[in-house]
Structure 1
Amino acid sequence: MKTRDSLIRLKRFQVDEKRRQLAQIEGMIAEFNRMADELDDQIRSEQERVGITDVTHFAYPTFAKAAADRRDNLRNSAHELDDQLQRAQDELSEAIEELKKFEQLEERDQQRERTAQEIAEQEQLDEVAARARMR
């Protein structure tokens, strides 16, 4: 029983760790997307300021080009994290399923113990009742 309790605690810890990892990846994706959106705003602002929106124009602002490259890198990084996010979600699901299996085994064993105890108590009561009838 002690071994299974330790195993259940370990599985719960693993589930919690997977949840933390998942939240961290989700947070990174959200932050990258937020930063990319801010760069989009800065690019539009710069384009409006100089009046040139054609990226191939010789006078297109250097800042806007650099910001667009950075934005694209952020979007690509967020996209790459989507794969990690999917793996983390799958790993969390697996960890939860493992935890459920061990918890169900524990619950089944506890139910078995309760049933055995109830039977033993009933046998004791039956024995007391039989002795009382004999008197």
Structure 2
Amino acid sequence: MKSRDTLLRLKRFQVDEKRRQVVQIETMVAEFERMAAELDREILHEQEKAGIHDVAHYAYPTYAKAAMTRRDNLKRSAAELAGQLAEAQDALAEAFEELKKVELLEERDGQRERIAEAARDQAEMDRIGAERTTLRAS
């Protein structure tokens, strides 16, 4: 029984760890997307300030070009993290299923113990009743 308790704690820890990984990746994706949106605003601001929207124009703002590169890198990183997020979510679902299996085994064992204890209690009550019946008959 002790090994089952240890296994149950291990499975719960694994689920918690996978859940933390999912949340961490989701947070990173959201942060990258926020930063990319901020760079989009800065690029637009630079284009409006310079009055040039054509990236190929010789006087296009250098800061806007650099910001575009950073934004594109952030979007690429966010897309890569989205793939990792899907994998982490799958791993979380798998760990959760394993936890549920162990919990069901634990519950089934507990139910068996309760049934066995109830049977022992009933047998004891039957024995006491039989003794009283024997005493009254004598």
What band does the TM-score fall into relative to the shorter chain? over 0.9
Match of 1:120 in 2: 120
Match of 2:39 in 1: 39
The alignment partner of 1:63 has SS state of helix
Shift of 1:130: 1.1
CA-based RMSD: 0.5
- In the superposition, the TM-score normalised over structure 1's length comes to 0.99
Shift of 1:37: 0.4
Structure 2, unaligned stretches of length 5 or more? none
* Mapping 1:103-114, distance limit 5 Å: 103-114=103-114
Number of positions where the alignment pairs a residue of Structure 1 with one of Structure 2: 135
Match of 1:94 in 2: 94
Moved over 6 A (4+): none
- Distance in 1 separating the partners of 2:123 and 2:2: 29
Structure 1, unaligned stretches of length 5 or more? none
The alignment partner of 1:58 has SS state of coil
Match of 1:12 in 2: 12
- Distance in 2 separating the partners of 1:131 and 1:28: 73
The alignment partner of 1:56 has SS state of coil
